[in-house]
Amino acid sequence: MTRKMLIDRTVKSLKKLPESKLIEVQDYIDFLLYRAKEKELNREIIQMASQSKSFRFLEEEEELYADSDVKELYA
pLDDT digits (tens, 9 = 90+) for 26-69: 999 999 999 999 999 999 999 998 888 888 888 888 888 888 88
- Residue 40: its pLDDT value, please? 97
Give the residue ranges of DSSP H helices in 17-58.
19-51
Residue 8: enclosing H or E segment and its boundaries? helix 3-16
**R_g of the chain, CA atoms, integer Å:** 25
Upper half-sphere CA count for residue 61 (Cβ side, 13 Å):
7
- Residue 2: its pLDDT value, please? 96
Instruction: Report DSSP state, residue 54.
Output: T
- Residue 54: its pLDDT value, please? 84
- Residue 37: its pLDDT value, please? 98
- Residue 23: its pLDDT value, please? 97
- Residue 58: its pLDDT value, please? 80
The overall longest dimension of the chain from CA atoms, in Å, is 69
